[in-house]
Structure 1
Amino acid sequence: MTVFLSIFSIVLLCGCLIQMQTKRTFQKQLRSIKKQLTDIVNGQASGPVLIGTDHKQMADLLVSINKLNDQNREHARQFIRTEQSMKRMLSNISHDLKTPLTVISGYAEMLNAKIDMPSQERQRILSHIHEKTDEMTTLIDSFFDLAKLEAGDKHVPLGTINLTEICKQSILMFYELIETKGLDVQIDIPDSPIFALGNEEALHRVLANLVSNALRYGSDGNVIGLHIYADETIVTIAVYDQGVGIRESDQQSIFERMYTLEESRNKDFQGSGLGLTITKKLIEQMQGTISVTSIPHEKTSFICKLKRVHG
């Protein structure tokens, strides 16, 4: 009996010692985790939280902490990108509003100074003022449209649309401008109607943005094209030109808010940088995709894909 009690006491003592050692190890590990997290919060470290442990619960805790840490780093990077994008957006909007305002102000001063101006000249100046006012209205409308799309406040109802007819109408809207520029128009639209899931108004806006972009940036290549083709499930619209093109590094950012291709395309034709962002948002609202491919002075194509609907 005495021997049994002695053995029991030793086992109990060992158990207590192991518990104490385990507790001290846990406390040390927790202090290490706290220090590493404090360094991360204070910006003195950015890597994962690391400790050596063979305890499953502690290992699971570390995995969860490092996942959260990774998410926080990604959110921080996203915040920086968004902040830079917003600064660029405000700078571009300020510039794009200032330019027509300066012109309007100059024309207004001219009208005020020359009271006896001939009516024909006065009408010409008033037309220019109206044109610049329209530019400002378009820019402001685009900005608010993008804000609504990003906030999910702009509803785009979907239904079956006649994609071939919409494309024909859209290219005809630019017929006079294309004729004036003397461009070679390459149109490949099937005679038979092709239907897709989409929104007629949204697709008109998308095509207007893409065709006007092709005319603005690619007219030096003297070619503009619109091509429609389809398989059993997808309808593809390609709008292309043969202008200066878009560098591969810029292609990754072409649809970002306010990205205006300052180096890869002519600075004389800088726009607000909202058009392609709105285009992408509208295509996504129609459950489609948009991409770009570009070989300078050979072919720059914007490719939209929508779900096909069989009539």
Structure 2
Amino acid sequence: MTILYIGTTVVLVAIIYAQYQMSRTRTKHLREIHNKLHRIVNQSSDEVILLFTDDKELIDITVDLNRLLEKHKKALANYTNTKWSMKKMISNISHDLKTPLTVTLGYVEMIQMDSELDSEERHLILTKIHDKSVEVITLIDKFFNLAKLESGDKEVPLTSIRINDICRKSLLEYYDIFNKKGIDVHIDIPDKPIYVLGNIEALKRILTNLISNAIVHGGDGKMIGLKIRINEDDIYIDVWDKGKGIDEPYQDRVFERLYTLEDSRNKSYQGSGLGLTITKRLVEKLGGTIQINSKPWQKTVFSFSLKRSNEQN
């Protein structure tokens, strides 16, 4: 009986000692985790928490903490990028607003200071003032449209739409400009009706942005085209030109908010940097994607996809 009592006591003491050692080890590891986490957060470090232990619970905690740190790092990077973009946005829009407003002010001063202007000269100046005012309004409109799209405040209801007619009409609106600039237009639109899931207003805006972009930045190539491609589930609309194009390192960035390629050799792409961003957001609202493929002076293609629809309205 005495031996049994002694044996039981020894076992209990051993268990208590083992638990004590485990508790000490766990406390030590928790302290290590806390110190590393404190250092990573305070120093904005990219480190991860490394812990050598067989304790499953501590391993799970460490894994989850590292996931949380990774999310924190991504959130911080997104915040930094957004902050930089906002500064750039303010700078770009301020510049783009200031330029036409300064010109407009100059025209107004001309009218005020020169009382001998004849009616023809006065009409010419007033026309220029009107054009510059429209330019400012258009820029402000683009900014607010993008803000609505990115905030989710702008609803884009989807219906079944015959895309053939919208593409033809969008090109037809630029008929006079094509003639004036001597641009050949190539149209590859099937005669068979093609229905997509879309929004008429959004599609017109997308096509207008892409066609005007091709005229402004690819018109030197004297050739612009629009093509509709079809597969089982989607249709693709290509708007292309044979102008100066965009160098490959910059192609992935042209849809970024307020990216204007000012660091590239193609200075003609500078501006507010809103048009293609709005285009991308609208395409995404329609459930599609958009991409660019450009070989300068050979062919630059902006291609976006839309979901096919069998329903005919």
Settle same-fold status: TM greater than 0.5: yes
Match status 1:252 vs 2:252: yes
Query: Residue in 1 aligned with 2:139?
Result: 139
Distance 2:132 2:160 in 1: 37
Match status 1:235 vs 2:230: no
Q: Helix, strand or coil for the counterpart of 1:229?
A: strand
Q: Is the 8 A contact 1:245 1:265 kept in 2?
A: no
How do residues 40-79 of structure 1 correspond to structure 2 at under 5 angstroms? Answer: 40-43=40-43, 45-79=45-79
- The structural deviation recorded for 1:269 is 5.1
Q: Is the 8 A contact 1:246 1:265 kept in 2?
A: no
Q: Deviations over 1:63-94 (max 9, x none)?
A: 11000000000001111111111111111101
Gapped runs of 5+ residues in structure 1?
none
Q: Is the 8 A contact 2:292 2:300 kept in 1?
A: yes
AA of the residue aligned to 2:135 = E
Distance 1:54 1:255 in 2: 48
Distance 2:254 2:46 in 1: 30
- The structural deviation recorded for 1:247 is 2.0
Query: Residue in 2 aligned with 1:221?
Result: 221
Distance 1:97-1:44 versus aligned 2 partners, 3 A rule: closer
Distance 1:307 1:97 in 2: 38
Q: Helix, strand or coil for the counterpart of 2:191?
A: coil
Q: Is the 8 A contact 1:245 1:264 kept in 2?
A: no
AA of the residue aligned to 2:141 = D
Q: Is the 8 A contact 2:240 2:299 kept in 1?
A: yes
Give the structure-2-normalised TM-score. 0.97
Greater mean deviation of Cα atoms: 17-26 or 40-49: 40-49
Q: Helix, strand or coil for the counterpart of 1:228?
A: strand
Query: Residue in 1 aligned with 2:149?
Result: 149
Q: Is the 8 A contact 1:160 1:196 kept in 2?
A: yes
Q: Helix, strand or coil for the counterpart of 1:255?
A: coil
Distance 2:268 2:290 in 1: 26
AA of the residue aligned to 1:233 = D
Distance 1:39 1:231 in 2: 54
RMSD: 1.2
Gapped runs of 5+ residues in structure 2?
none
Q: Helix, strand or coil for the counterpart of 1:71?
A: helix
Distance 1:269 1:287 in 2: 27
Distance 1:57 1:277 in 2: 46
Query: Residue in 2 aligned with 1:11?
Result: 11
Distance 1:268 1:248 in 2: 16
Distance 1:297 1:86 in 2: 33
- The structural deviation recorded for 1:263 is 4.1
Q: Deviations over 1:192-217 (max 9, x none)?
A: 22110000010000000001111111
Distance 1:103 1:267 in 2: 21
Query: Residue in 1 aligned with 2:186?
Result: 186
Distance 1:24 1:11 in 2: 20
AA of the residue aligned to 1:96 = D
AA of the residue aligned to 2:273 = G
Give the structure-1-normalised TM-score. 0.97
Greater mean deviation of Cα atoms: 57-66 or 260-269: 260-269
- The structural deviation recorded for 1:44 is 6.0
Q: Deviations over 1:194-241 (max 9, x none)?
A: 110000010000000001111111111111111112122111100011
Distance 1:44 1:203 in 2: 44
- The structural deviation recorded for 1:274 is 0.5
Q: Is the 8 A contact 2:48 2:66 kept in 1?
A: yes
Q: Deviations over 1:128-185 (max 9, x none)?
A: 0000000000000110111111111000111011101000010111111111110121
